């Protein structure tokens, strides 16, 4: 058995040799997770011995992380907007870029007494749950094709305390005949075969949530369908907002305009990269 300090050094070395850029941080977080300790305890008591079950788990997690498996899937959780969400390989890992979608949605919902909205492709539920908690007067529905993803999202909503109407199905099909003040979505938008899909842990994430899997396509197949179907599900003046790739802003605005939307615009993330497009009826 090794001490916490010895394990931290060992883990950092192993991950660094595997090419993990955040080796020191990841080794520390995995160690704290299996040992059930805080960072301060690790610093104050590095001589504490890691007992066998935790040692075995730490060694296994190090090997998996060294092979590129995302840290969030190992610990089963990720933070988004100050809240801890449970995640699994059934859902994408939350990314800070998606906060742009949340902020824009909250801005457009201002002034509405009891807005209704639906989140398409909810995944772990970060968008729907964030909007339900930060716009408590809203009535929020969330849709996903994957029932495993719906189970993760429903569990997160229950843990965090958000009231969401979850529906399983293909995009807007589960809300046939209903209209909303807003539709939001973070759909698959990476083109099938894009080399980025083989990098940064993406092979471990659900491919159906990353790419439309349209051979030879441009990654916009899901966005085209959402934009085309959205007008029939929006109230007059209703907004459609969706996340997309860095080079899809112009195409997204063109799709919105062609579908009859007004004031089609694209908004950047904090890095200045085109991230979200939207428009209203």
Compute the distance between CA of residue 119 and CA of residue 186 in angstroms, rounded to an integer: 8
Task: Tell me, yes or no, whether 81 lies in a domain.
Answer: no
pLDDT along the chain (281 residues), means of 10: 91 95 95 92 88 94 96 96 97 96 97 96 98 97 97 98 97 97 97 86 92 88 97 97 96 98 96 96 95
**pTM for this entry:** 0.92
Mark whether 22 and 122 lie in a shared domain.
Answer: no
Within a domain: residue 63? yes
Query: Domain check: are 61 and 96 in the same one?
Result: no
Do residue 182 and residue 249 come from a single domain? yes
Residues 173, 42: one domain?
no
- In the chain, the number of structural domains is 2
Long-range contacts at 248-254 (CB < 8 A, ≥ 24 apart):
248/189, 248/219, 248/220, 248/223, 248/274, 248/277, 249/274, 249/277, 251/218, 251/220, 252/220, 252/223, 252/227, 252/277, 253/277, 253/279
> What does DSSP assign to residue 97?
G
Strand pairing report for 274-280 and 234-243: antiparallel
State the CATH number of the domain containing residue 139. 3.40.50.150
Distance CA 48, CA 9 (A): 14
Pair 37, 120 in one domain:
no
Q: CB–CB of 100/269 below 8 Å?
A: yes
Nearest to 270 by CA among 92, 98, 118, 120: 98
Does 21 fall in a domain?
A: yes
pLDDT of residue 228: 97
- My answer on whether 200 and 273 are in the same domain is yes
Co-location of 239 and 130 in the same domain: yes
Is 82 contained in some domain? no
In a domain, 261, yes or no: yes
Within this chain, do residues 144 and 214 fall inside the same structural domain, yes or no? yes
Domain boundary among 19, 53, 68: 68
Q: What is the pLDDT of residue 19?
A: 94
195/107 same-domain check: yes
Residues 108-132: tens digit of each pLDDT: 999 899 999 999 999 999 999 999 9
| 111 in the same domain as 64 | no
Identify the domain containing residue 154 by its residue range.
91-280
In a domain, 218, yes or no: yes
156 CB burial (10 A radius; 0-12, 13-18, 19+): buried
* Whether the Cβ atoms of residue 160 and residue 133 lie closer than 8 Å to each other: yes
Give the Cα separation of 203 and 66 in Å (integer).
14
pLDDT on residue 105: 98
Decide if 263 is inside a domain.
yes
* Domain boundary residue, one of 53, 68, 83: 68
Q: By the 8 A CB rule, do 111 and 138 touch?
A: no
Q: Is there a single domain that holds both residue 185 and residue 51?
A: no
Contact 117, 141 (CB under 8 A): yes
Asked if 261 and 240 count as a contact pair (C-beta separation under 8 A), the reply is yes
Q: Tell whether 10 is covered by a domain.
A: yes
Same domain for 53 and 167?
no
3-class SS at 240? Answer: strand
């Amino acid at each position: 058995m090794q001490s916490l300090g010895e394990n931290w050094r060992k883990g950092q070395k192993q991950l660094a040799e595997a090419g993990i850029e955040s080796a020191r941080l990841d080794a520390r977080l995995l160690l704290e997770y299996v040992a059930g300790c805080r960072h301060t305890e690790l610093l104050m008591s590095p001589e504490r011995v890691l007992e066998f079950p935790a040692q075995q788990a730490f060694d296994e997690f190090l090997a998996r992380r060294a092979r590129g498996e995302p840290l969030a899937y190992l610990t089963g959780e990720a933070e988004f907007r100050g809240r801890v969400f449970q995640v699994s390989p059934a859902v994408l890992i939350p990314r800070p870029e998606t906060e742009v979608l949340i902020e824009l949605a909250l801005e457009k919902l201002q002034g509405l007494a009891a807005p209704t909205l639906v989140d398409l492709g909810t995944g772990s539920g970060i968008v729907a749950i964030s909007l339900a908690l930060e716009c408590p007067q809203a009535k929020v529905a969330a849709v996903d094709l994957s029932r495993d993803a719906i189970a993760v999202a429903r569990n997160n909503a229950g843990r965090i305390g958000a009231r969401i109407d979850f529906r399983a199905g293909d995009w807007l099909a589960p809300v046939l005949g209903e209209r909303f003040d807003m539709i939001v979505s973070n759909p698959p938008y990476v083109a099938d075969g894009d080399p980025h899909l083989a990098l940064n842990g993406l092979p471990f994430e659900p491919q159906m949530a990353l790419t439309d899997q349209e051979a030879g396509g441009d990654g916009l197949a899901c966005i085209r369908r959402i934009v085309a179907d959205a007008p029939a599900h929006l109230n007059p003046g209703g907004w459609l907002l969706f996340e997309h790739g860095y080079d899809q802003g112009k195409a997204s605005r063109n799709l919105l305009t062609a579908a009859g939307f007004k004031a089609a615009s694209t908004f950047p993330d904090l890095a200045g990269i085109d991230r979200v497009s939207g428009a209203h009826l």
